[in-house]
Amino acid sequence: MHKKSVYIETTIPSIITARPSKDITTAYRQEITKFFWENERHKYDLCISEYVLEECSKGDLNAANRRMDLLSGIPFYAKNSEIESLSAEYFNYLNVPYRAKTDCFHLAVCVVHKINYLLSWNMTHLGNTTYSKIVLYNGSRELWLPELLAPDIFMKIQKDEAENGRV
């Protein structure tokens, strides 16, 4: 059986490799994401992109090295004109702030390469309100539509589907 494809957005390696947090929400996200990474990720075809590698290589050198080590060996998609063009369309259509433009690149990679899921903790600009706009946009252009999910919701859906025989 063919494995589902999962795009690992930058927040995933960032939260796994971060120092343990005392903030309850961040600590929850760290535990869930580490659980996914240690126990669940092997069930899926993981992928990243050149954009993820660029983001993960920035900042504190030690933290960047931890993120890059975590991603070592995961197949990645290079930038190309189709992704650049589609991300520009999303950026204009979705009206996201410039500082969040990379979110449009992550989305475009998933659409162009027909990736099943985009896994991220950052749904500020690609969350429910925006996702309904993405559904309309992609539907009207007959483009692939990935599901955009946080790791906890993703694992719950996968578990429910497995228990109901819809894997």
Q: What is the pLDDT of residues 82-115, one digit of tens each?
A: 999 999 999 999 998 999 899 999 999 999 999 9
Fold classification of 5-163 is Rossmann fold (3.40.50)
Examine the pLDDT at 166 and tell me if it is beyond 80. no
User: Rounded to two decimals, what is the model's pTM?
Assistant: 0.95
Q: Cα separations (Å) of 107 from 18, 76, 77?
A: 24, 14, 12
Mean pLDDT estimate for the chain = 95
Mean of the pLDDT values across residues 62-66?
A: 97
In this predicted model, what pLDDT tens digit does every residue of 126-160 receive, in sequence order?
877 899 999 999 999 999 999 999 999 999 999 99
47 three-class SS:
strand
